[in-house]
Amino acid sequence: MLLYNSLRGKKEEFFPLGKDHVRLYVCGITAYDYCHVGHARSAVVFDVLVRYLCFKGWKVTFVRNFTDIDDKIIKRAAAEGLSAAEVAEKYIAAFYEDMDLLGILRADHEPRATEHIPGMIRLSQRLIEKGYAYATAQGDVYFRVRTFEGYGRLSGRNIEELRSGTRVEPGEQKEDPLDFALWKAAKPGEPFWPSPWGEGRPGWHLECSVMSEELLGLPLDIHGGGQDLAFPHHENEMTQSMAATGGEFARFWVHNGFVQVNAEKMSKSLGNFTTIRDILANFLPEVLRFFLLTKHYRSPLDFSFDSMEETEKALQRIYQTMALLREHGARTKWSNSALPPELEEELSGLENDWTRAMEDDLNTAGALGHVFGAVRLANRMLENKGWQKSTPSRDLGARILADLHYWGQALGLFQAEPQAWLTGLKDSRVRRKGLDVVRVEELLAVRQQARQAKDFEQADAVRQSLLDMGIEARDTPAGQVWDVA
């Protein structure tokens, strides 16, 4: 498959270095607050990548870390009156709650920075021995950026340009403003670990270098994360690892694009973020997951509740067709009439298109378009009175259902039992709109009676008042049903 490699700025054919074994490392969260849509996107994108790599028959070892010690956690701990460890614990637990709902598979290893302090100290020592790093009198250890040939390769920067952007915090004893911290001396009241340079804590970039090497071995096949991590985090991570080992760090760098709000990046600092739990209070988790896959993973994606409602309808359409296909498959009488061969050919085409989209840099948006192609095909077949009872239609229907299930496994969608899902959707909408179900049922009963009495004037009047409440009454062969408009 083709994957866009940030290292070279183009799509490249991906294959694992070990014959059938992909080693994948993705930067997880810093556990200091609830996750927002941006975190969800990153998690979903790499979840789909893992699922798809597995589909291709490769064995995947996936590592996703937690940063459980850093400035923001310490700050948050002070604000919440907890220890840094307690803050990390709390938000890691919240992460699992949110991500489990979104259908994010657990990684094979989910290490925390604080579990790898000895390794980080060893890596720092290695770098000092090689002359790439130095310790200051006050117990900080910095990486000497200028000693590393090619710094800036990943993020497309050169050292001279970076110069202007850097600044030195008061009290820092850097040799050069560009140098970044490997180890930070503890300030009073901060959590610390003993080290050859005194009590302190690791810098941010170090953990990923250490954990990826220890758990997967270098070079990694793929290293992933959000676009905003490319610089400085990934650049520094790559630099220190390559300096230490003298070899390659990661063969492919994959970066997902941002979630935006009104065309601006959703971020903590701008305060324009919506948490996953805010969304799940109003929408089914699968709707959010689907939404996050409706655009190519490298492009910016604008989030809004309006888009969520739109996505909800689109996903509902797929489940509705799945429900119809289930019903259709459960028929007991079949005729021998034929089905035009084009239908099967069309489906084969869609199957190929789906795979081609996924093979092309994980184009989930394109792939979803082809899923709808299959939905339309199914509906067309089910609707046709000449076809719907035929044995070939039974087989084609089963094949479409199997395709939807298969595609959905790779995307982490469409796995629910259709009727149950549709019922869940209705409940979710009722809750969101604060509807009074008892009142709705009463009105429906009135309309039912009026209809039976052929008093269509009253029946329509009732339907109008239901509509005013946001309820749509529908008459089907099976009787009256309703849905949230």
Residues between 289 and 348 that touch RNA (CB under 7 A): 294-296, 299-302, 307, 310-311, 313-314, 317, 320
**Least Å from the CB of residue 6 to RNA:** 9
The answer to whether residue 368 forms part of the interface with RNA (CB under 7 A) is yes
**Least Å from the CB of residue 246 to RNA:** 26
| Angle of CA points 148, 153, 155, to nearest 5° | 125
Distance CA 421, CA 47 (A): 22
**Least Å from the CB of residue 129 to RNA:** 26
Residues 400-459 that bind RNA (CB under 7 A): 451, 456, 459
**Least Å from the CB of residue 320 to RNA:** 6
23 versus 223: smaller Cβ distance to RNA: 223
Which residues, in sequence order, are CB contacts of 81 under 8 Å at separation 6+? none
Q: Please select the residue that binds RNA; options are 48, 77, 99, 162, rule is CB under 7 A.
A: 162
Q: Which of 28, 2, 54, 195 is nearest to 111 (CA)?
A: 28
**Least Å from the CB of residue 259 to RNA:** 4
Pair of tokens at residue 332: 């007991």
Query: What distance, in Å, lies between the first and last C-alpha atoms of the chain?
Result: 42
Distance CA 361, CA 376 (A): 26
| Angle of CA points 466, 283, 374, to nearest 5° | 90
**Least Å from the CB of residue 19 to RNA:** 28
Per-residue binder mask for RNA (CB under 7 A), 253-292, x = binder: ---xxxxx--xxxxxxx-----------------------
Residues 179-208 that bind RNA (CB under 7 A): 204
Q: In this structure, what DSSP letter does residue 213 have?
A: H
Q: What would the DSSP string read from start to end of 110-137? A: --BGGGGHHHHHHHHHHHHHTTSEEE-T
178 versus 218: smaller Cβ distance to RNA: 178
Residues 345-364 that bind RNA (CB under 7 A): 357, 360, 363
Give the start-end residues of each E strand in 240-310: 250-256, 259-261, 264-265, 301-302
Residues 111-140 that bind RNA (CB under 7 A): none
Residues 370-399 that bind RNA (CB under 7 A): 370, 372-373, 375-376, 379-380, 382-383
3-state secondary structure of 424: helix
**Least Å from the CB of residue 226 to RNA:** 2
Check if the beta carbon of residue 379 is closer than 8 Å to that of residue 324: yes
Pair of tokens at residue 236: 């520094």
**Least Å from the CB of residue 38 to RNA:** 2
17 versus 420: smaller Cβ distance to RNA: 420
Q: Please select the residue that binds RNA; options are 89, 190, 228, 344, rule is CB under 7 A.
A: 228
Q: Which of 106, 69, 97, 99 is nearest to 84 (CA)?
A: 69
Pair of tokens at residue 382: 């089910």
Task: Give the containing element (helix H, strand E) for 94.
Answer: helix 84-101
Check if the beta carbon of residue 438 is closer than 8 Å to that of residue 419: no
249 versus 387: smaller Cβ distance to RNA: 387
74 versus 127: smaller Cβ distance to RNA: 74
> Beta-carbon neighbour count of residue 84 at 10 Å?
23
Q: In this structure, what DSSP letter does residue 147 have?
A: G
Check if the beta carbon of residue 49 is closer than 8 Å to that of residue 2: no
Q: Please select the residue that binds RNA; options are 156, 196, 329, 386, rule is CB under 7 A.
A: 156
Q: What is the CA radius of gyration of the chain?
A: 27
Which residues, in sequence order, are CB contacts of 101 under 8 Å at separation 6+? 276, 280, 285
**Least Å from the CB of residue 192 to RNA:** 19
Say if residue 219 is preceded by a cis peptide, omega within 30 of 0: yes
125 versus 237: smaller Cβ distance to RNA: 237
Q: Please select the residue that binds RNA; options are 16, 111, 200, 226, rule is CB under 7 A.
A: 226
Q: Please select the residue that binds RNA; options are 216, 218, 229, 322, rule is CB under 7 A.
A: 229
**Least Å from the CB of residue 18 to RNA:** 26
38 versus 285: smaller Cβ distance to RNA: 38
Residues 33-92 that bind RNA (CB under 7 A): 38-39, 41-42, 71-72
99 versus 125: smaller Cβ distance to RNA: 99
**Least Å from the CB of residue 81 to RNA:** 21
61 versus 363: smaller Cβ distance to RNA: 363
**Given CA atoms 109, 236, 99, 307 in this order, what sign does their dihedral have?**
negative
39 versus 144: smaller Cβ distance to RNA: 39
Binding residues for RNA, total number by CB under 7 A: 82
